[in-house]
Amino acid sequence: MSLMSPQSPLALPPSTAPDAARRRWLGSAWAWAWMGAGPAVAVVGLAGCSAAALRQPAASHAAATFEPVAPGLWLARGQGGEVDPANRGRVGNTALVAGPRGALVVGGGVSRRQGVELLAAARQIASVPVRALLITPVRQEFVLGAPAFQEAGVPVVMHPAAARLMRARCDNCLKNLKRELGAQEMAGSRVVTPDRLLEAGDPWLAEVTGRPLRLLTFGVQAHSSGPGDVALLDEASGSLLAGGLVSADSVPDVQDADFAGWRQALAALGGLPLQRILPGHGPVCPPQQIQRIAGYLNALEARTAQLLAAGVPLSEVAEATELPAFARWEGYDSVHRRNAAIVYLRQERELLRQPAPEGR
């Protein structure tokens, strides 16, 4: 059943329907998107917590492998694409940074099984104990491997806003992944309670590793690319562990984003003395990728605003939101199409909130 089918709870009312009908439909769409109900989610919203409707080509299985990026800094690349059985959901990156007193893992993997592999690989590479797992952003590929770390005595840390989002949503993520990847692959996976909550400027990560690590947050209540999304600046190497704030060669997912906070974050990050960026998805990239992500967000909002002003119905938005400059990015045929629908709905909701002109 598609979003536009007559049987779908999200089927659009006719374009001539009065504002009241459109308002009721928008309310239903956003309620369904938040609850993660049915096939509509794969189009409208919770891509980070649902089985994807549109998939990237299958990738081969591979054990966790950390590749050196700079002295004391490594990256285990995710396989990219959308979650499916072929890639075992291992689509996000995991970083490892080590100082004289300890090491920090950033990103726990999609399952307890992957978490076990990541922790074992980190311990093999680092000559110091693994002191903590930092989770950012709150997406299934970074969250559900955390039990492996807690079971090994490694504390899980995250921002308070991220912890609230994880508590509210990730049980549903886990149910979807068990259906998608199978109970065996997800065995032992669960939503953990973080051991420590960190705000921007908290020196704890620097203290436990002995390395100059600076935790950064942006936006109102730390809401930028997602609630509680943080970046970690490794001042020793001039590297930014960007989490969900910056992706490379892949379309960023806007499902949880506050665009104002995200733009504030990108502007601030662009002023840092960076040598490189370790993104949440994609390869290590130069600092110029910050401007490319900003360019994508601007182009996306501008195009959907044009379509809304022209009266283009939601059923045609995904096809009409062509952005050729980003067509080669991974996820352009799936994530970008979802992004277009999400942003269009937000803009329409804001438009309907505005008072009607006098005389109408």
Q: Kindly report, residue by residue over 208-239, the tens digit of the pLDDT.
A: 999 999 999 998 889 999 999 999 999 999 99
- Asked if 250 contacts 285 with a C-beta cutoff of 8 angstroms, the reply is no
Tally Cβ neighbours within 10 Å of residue 326.
17
Q: What is the mean pLDDT of the chain?
A: 86
| Residue 7, pLDDT above cutoff 50 | no
Give the whole-angstrom CA distance, residue 136 versus residue 113.
19
Of the pLDDT bands very low, low, confident and very high (cuts 50, 70, 90), residue 358 is low
Look at the alpha carbons of 340, 345, 350, 352 in this order and tell me if their dihedral is positive or negative: positive
Look at the alpha carbons of 66, 210, 200, 117 in this order and tell me if their dihedral is positive or negative: positive
Give the whole-angstrom CA distance, residue 184 versus residue 342.
33
What's the one-letter identity of residue 271? Answer: G
- Asked if 112 contacts 77 with a C-beta cutoff of 8 angstroms, the reply is no
- Asked if 105 contacts 96 with a C-beta cutoff of 8 angstroms, the reply is yes
Higher pLDDT, 30 or 235: 235
Whose tokens are 């600076």? That residue is 214
Q: Is 95 helix (H, G, I), strand (E, B) or coil?
A: strand
Both tokens assigned to 56: 């990237």
Beta strand 67-70 with 73-76 is antiparallel
Both tokens assigned to 247: 């992706």
